[in-house]
Amino acid sequence: MTTEPTSSSHPELRRLAGNGPRPSAVIVNPHRLDDVEGLRRTISAVLSDADWPTPIWLETTQDDPGTGQAREAVARGAEVVFVSGGDGTVRACVEGLAGSDAALAILPGGTGNLLAGNFEVPTDPAEGVRLAVAGGRRRIDVGEVGGQVFAVMAGMGFDAKMLDSASTELKARIGTPAYVLSAGKHLLDHPMRVQVTVDDAEPLVRKARSVIVGNVGQIQAGVALFPDAEPDDGYLDVAILAPKHLGHWVSTVAGVLTRQKRVPNLEILRGKRIRVRSTQEQERELDGDVVEPGRELVATIRPASLWLCVPIDDALDAG
């Protein structure tokens, strides 16, 4: 795929010049949609109005939640890949697109919408398509854990437990509050004993409720856990949450929500390789998607690996 020249050498601005019709693909998780054909008509209408060609249409399956479809879209020449589904579908497609020149265009369709929320991507499908057509692009880092990628966060402990026990039915019915109810079940679970190693520094030994590695600022429910994180700085942030009792939890949550400079019972570090090692097997998650439990979580950064369709103002601010 070719990229038009631009007067700026900044990679985030490179695609803003000479924006025009692009070959595209749509990857849909049919189990997340009540009206697949309605979405197809909406996308086709907006692209037709913009003189873009008819997109390739691909659906996820139980065996392949999006990675293979994303790679197929790239192989078939798609320069923009629209993805409609929840966080698991988006993460699977990120895995297939990372390292390519195709841009991911998110059409949010889940409960968390983690990556979309960090970039103010609209939830209305037609507006999401128009955003991609407008040409705003930003190249961001992705993280990697055991060969699997994440664009927002990876975690071990409380956050993974919360995600795992939030029922699909409740999330569909009430949305984000389902996570709050699930969190209440695990606030006072036994803490983990962990070693946290950032790059080549000496390991930190902690009793923690959760260790979360972040690539962007916001995690679940729009909580800005990493206020200084940038998605394209080549670093990962890591948060060690260690409240001992309910009162600690209250002060920690209040500190995060009010964006205090120093939040009680919370340490935030930064590096390119984060290793978390627990004395016992723990629940783990990537971008809100629960993965196989383990005693270790090793996250590394893959800088500038993913093109993302973002609002024009965000793309310009990146420059």
> Is residue 298 assigned to a domain?
yes
Domain membership of residue 46 as a residue range: 11-142+305-318
Whether residue 259 sits in one domain with residue 293: yes
Whether residue 266 sits in one domain with residue 185: yes
> Is residue 236 assigned to a domain?
yes
In degrees rounded to 5, what are phi and psi of residue 188? -110, 20
- Number of structural domains found in the chain: 2
Whether residue 92 sits in one domain with residue 153: no
Looking at residue 312, its pLDDT comes to: 81
Whether residue 215 sits in one domain with residue 182: yes
> Is residue 283 assigned to a domain?
yes
Looking at residue 5, its pLDDT comes to: 32
Looking at residue 10, its pLDDT comes to: 43
Whether residue 172 sits in one domain with residue 118: no
- The closest of 285, 249, 252, 65 to 163, measured between CA atoms, is 285
Domain of 212: which CATH number? 2.60.200.40
Whether residue 215 sits in one domain with residue 129: no
Whether residue 25 sits in one domain with residue 107: yes
> Is residue 177 assigned to a domain?
yes
| Diameter over CA atoms, the chain | 58
pLDDT tens, position by position, 13-65 = 444 445 678 999 999 999 878 889 999 999 999 999 999 999 999 999 999 99
Whether residue 115 sits in one domain with residue 45: yes
Q: Which residues of the chain have pLDDT under 70?
A: 1-19, 164-183, 314-319
Looking at residue 179, its pLDDT comes to: 59
Whether residue 244 sits in one domain with residue 314: no
> Is residue 1 assigned to a domain?
no
Read off the pTM. 0.87
Q: CA-CA distance, 91 to 86, in Å (whole number)?
A: 9
Instruction: Mention every residue, 6+ apart, whose C-beta is less than 8 A from residue 65.
Output: 29, 88, 89, 92
Whether residue 264 sits in one domain with residue 221: yes
Whether residue 289 sits in one domain with residue 312: no
Domain of 122: which CATH number? 3.40.50.10330
Looking at residue 33, its pLDDT comes to: 82
> Is residue 80 assigned to a domain?
yes
Whether residue 236 sits in one domain with residue 123: no
